[in-house]
Amino acid sequence: MTVPVLSAQNIGKSYGSGANRFDALKGVSVDIRAGESVAIVGKSGSGKSTLMHLLALLDDPDSGALLVEGTDAKKLKGKEVNRLRNQDFGFVFQQFFLTANASVLENVVLPLKIAGVDPKERKARGMEALEQLELADKAKSKAMNLSGGQKQRAVIARALVNNPKVIFADEPTGNLDTATGAVVEDILFSLNKDKGITLIIVTHDIDLAARCDRQIFIRDGLEDVTRSPEAIAKPAGAHS
Amino acid sequence: MKFVDIIRTAIANSFRSKLRTGLTVIAIFIGAFTLTITSGIGTGVTSYINSQVSAIGAADVLTVTKADDGATAGDGPAPYDPEKATAISLGNGSRPGSTIQALTDDDLDTIEATSGILGVDPSVQVTPDYIVYDVSGKFELTVNAAATLTTADLASGEQLDNESATDQILLPTTYLDPLGFSTPESAIGQTVTIGIADFAGTQQQVPATIVGVQNETILGAGAGLNQPLTDRLRAVELSGTPAEAPQSYATATARFDLDASDEEITAIKADLADQGYASQTVADQIGSFETVINVIIGVLNAFAVIALIAAGFGIINTLLMSVQERTREIGLMKAMGMNGGRVYALFSTEAVFIGFLGSALGALVAVAVGSVVSNILATTVFENLPGLQVVQFAPSSIAVIIGIVMLIAFLAGTLPARAAARQNPIDALRYE
Ligand SMILES: Nc1ncnc2c1ncn2[C@@H]1O[C@H](COP(=O)(O)OP(=O)(O)O)[C@@H](O)[C@H]1O
Ligand SMILES: [Mg+2]
């Protein structure tokens, strides 16, 4: 078998210290293989986002090890980590994080700008990504003038623009109505099927989770091997 | 991120909250404006002084006086010494009524014997009564005793020549009109008549040729006379003096080697001081004048720098606010692989840009305002000092000011920029 793209080995993460110390993740092991789609499911506060951030190298685990294509992430230099984040990973967050008064195109090409790509090429690739998401006509509009669905498509275009190997999506439909959410889901899965982009989706939507090749259930910072559906159910009154 | 993209992004970011940036820019503007104006005044006044005296011919001359022997008013009068010459009143340029101990012929010999001194001449102060040209009528004539020590700022004609056989006079421009000359050029070569009283009080007339016309100067007003004319007037003044009356002089000019180094000049001055004589080179005399102006400008500059330091805190505040406001954006950029150094560069560049904006605007407005005010003053208050532009701007000093302000802005930006660079993408992207 090939080496997993990402491999978490018994990773743990705590926040705060002393009496305020909180163990958000208490030892989880996951292997993500190239081309698959994986859902990380669990209740709000169970540690899903924490796990995703560790997998995406946005944070360092306190215990355990994270391997990127077989290499321990601790051994990677800062520069290499930045390259991975910039070129191999794409991010879709629950909130859009678009710069409100910059144009859609400018928002989409941000990863290319960070990578130091020429303005001309930036524009070409940005437009290409927008065309894929049928947003080309909005390229010059300011980000704040888009609808929720359009914003999320712009965010996906931004995640796509650098041709990543893995897209991390943290509750990508959480802020969208059902119909728009379904469109966004379709886009993500088509990227997975057509382009072979590995998909890691954090969600507590059981239907979205079911569309993925594999589900990892998280409960109170640990993998829930019983895979109980009620663990996913949104607790009453919870915000997300 | 590429360098140009960092600059472009930083500039765009600074315009995002226009009010905040605008207020900070105003603070910097005030500092830079003041600094530019004060440095402009410095340049203007210095360049005027230099135009008055820059071509100092007599770099090899010391003006020697008898040193104050320390008998100040509080100590009561000094005991009478019959060997000592009497006090003598100083001519123009000194405090009215001030006197110094006069130099005698013995003193001149002592000075001449000092090592390093090549020769010594008593400065003779003559006091003519009037000057007249043609049918102009008689006008009072003030003599500038220092005229032959400095090179005049000429409106027309030539400098005085002490070696010349003719009796030469150098007139200030202010004498032209009363004497009936329409232009400086028309006065050159004309003969004026100087009236002077002899010892007995009888007025005699001495003719003199105008060799040059001099712009009004700040270093002692009055007409310049060459040595032969001074000698001739002196002879008239002394004619009829009882033979045994001792000669005394207010000051003497001692010449030293033109190639003497600063150390050698200092040694000569020290040597003279030991023997009881105070001495000053022309540079010393001008230097003390410039020192006063430099002190005034220094004080003004200090205020401007204080304003700039206050503006620096404005920059820190502005940027800290925008770092806070842009927490998520910074987090997002870091999540997308932007390294801390670039984030730091982005915010420092923004600080430097704000500094540039404020200082460039401040300098620009200062140049405009300064030039207008200076031109107005030149035709009104300073009408009698032709060539004086109180505020003058040297491109290099403006560049230095803008550079300094940008440096202050950069230093002020380090704190917020570091805060931004250290931000953890995860903390920034939390959405609860
Ligand atoms: N920076 C932090 N400081 C303190 N506690 C945190 C921090 N981030 C997350 N937590 C806590 O860790 C737990 C897991 O958070 P998270 O991974 O965001 O859960 P999920 O994404 O499943 O809702 C939560 O209880 C949350 O309050
Ligand atoms: Mg979460």
* B415-431 per-position pLDDT tens digit: 899 988 888 888 877 75
DSSP E strands in A60-129: the ranges are 63-68, 71-72, 89-92
Task: Give the CB-side neighbour count of residue A101, counting CA atoms within 13 A.
Answer: 5
Task: Give nearest CA residue, ligand 1 atom 11.
Answer: A24
**Same domain (yes/no): B259, B118:** yes
Hey, is the C-beta of A113 within 8 angstroms of any chain B C-beta?
yes
Answer for the pair B319, B413: CB distance below 8 angstroms, yes or no: yes
How far apart are alpha carbons A151 and B66 in whole angstroms?
Answer: 91
pLDDT for B103: 83
Task: Among A62, A82, A118, A144, pick the best mutation site for testing chain B contact (most B Cβ within 10 A).
Answer: A82
Cα–Cα nearest to B173, from B138, B216, B224: B216
Give contacts of B2 with chain A, Cβ < 8 Å. Answer: 113, 116
**Same domain (yes/no): B322, B408:** yes
Q: How many folded domains does chain A comprise?
A: 1
Which ranges of B221-339 would DSSP assign to H, the alpha helix?
Answer: 227-238, 262-274, 282-325, 327-335
**Same domain (yes/no): B35, B136:** no
SS3 content of chain B, % helix, strand, coil (to 5): 50, 15, 35
**Beta bridge mates, B103:** B249
Q: How many folded domains does chain B comprise?
A: 3
Q: Which domain holds residue B66?
A: 60-122+251-280
**Same domain (yes/no): B259, B394:** no
Answer for the pair A3, A70: CB distance below 8 angstroms, yes or no: yes
Regions of chain B where pLDDT drops below 70: 52-59, 68-100, 146, 149-150, 217-221, 243-246, 386, 431-432
How far apart are alpha carbons B209 and B161 in whole angstroms?
Answer: 12
> Which atom of ligand 1 has the smallest separation from the CA of A47?
17
ipTM: 0.89
**Same domain (yes/no): B315, B400:** yes
How far apart are alpha carbons A135 and A159 in whole angstroms?
Answer: 14
List the single residue in A58, A110, A114 with the smallest CB-CB distance to B425: A58
Ligand sitting nearest the alpha carbon of A53: 1
**Same domain (yes/no): B168, B262:** no
- Choose one of B249, B271, B300: the last residue of a domain: B249
CB atoms within 10 A of CB B310: 13
pLDDT for B58: 58
Answer for the pair B167, B232: CB distance below 8 angstroms, yes or no: yes
Q: Which two tokens stand for residue B150?
A: 């400095």
Hey, is the C-beta of A142 within 8 angstroms of any chain B C-beta?
no
Task: Among B3, B18, B322, B332, pick the best mutation site for testing chain A contact (most A Cβ within 10 A).
Answer: B332
Q: Which domain holds residue A42?
A: 6-231
Residue range A70-124, pLDDT digits in tens: 999 999 999 999 999 999 999 998 788 998 889 999 999 999 999 999 999 999 9
Residue range A191-226, pLDDT digits in tens: 999 999 999 999 988 889 999 999 999 999 999 887
| B324 vs A54, residue with greater confidence | A54
Q: How far is CA B388 from CA A26, B97, B369, B396, in A?
A: 82, 30, 17, 21
How far apart are alpha carbons B345 and B262 in whole angstroms?
Answer: 49
Question: Are B1 and A110 an interchain contact pair (Cβ–Cβ within 8 Å)?
Answer: no
Answer for the pair B1, A116: CB distance below 8 angstroms, yes or no: yes
- Average pLDDT score, chain A: 90
Residue B211: phi and psi, rounded to 5, are: -100, -20
Cα–Cα nearest to A148, from A94, A84, A83, A69: A94
Segment A23-51 shows an average pLDDT of 94
Confidence of residue A240 (pLDDT cuts 50, 70, 90): very low
Q: How far is CA B128 from CA B131, B184, B233, B237, B239, in A?
A: 8, 23, 8, 9, 14
Chain A residue whose CA is closest to B334: A82
Does pLDDT of A234 surpass 60?
A: no
The β-bridge relationship of strands A166-170 and A89-92 is parallel
Question: Are B329 and A97 an interchain contact pair (Cβ–Cβ within 8 Å)?
Answer: yes
Confidence of residue A238 (pLDDT cuts 50, 70, 90): very low
The β-bridge relationship of strands B130-132 and B139-140 is antiparallel
CATH number, residue A121: 3.40.50.300
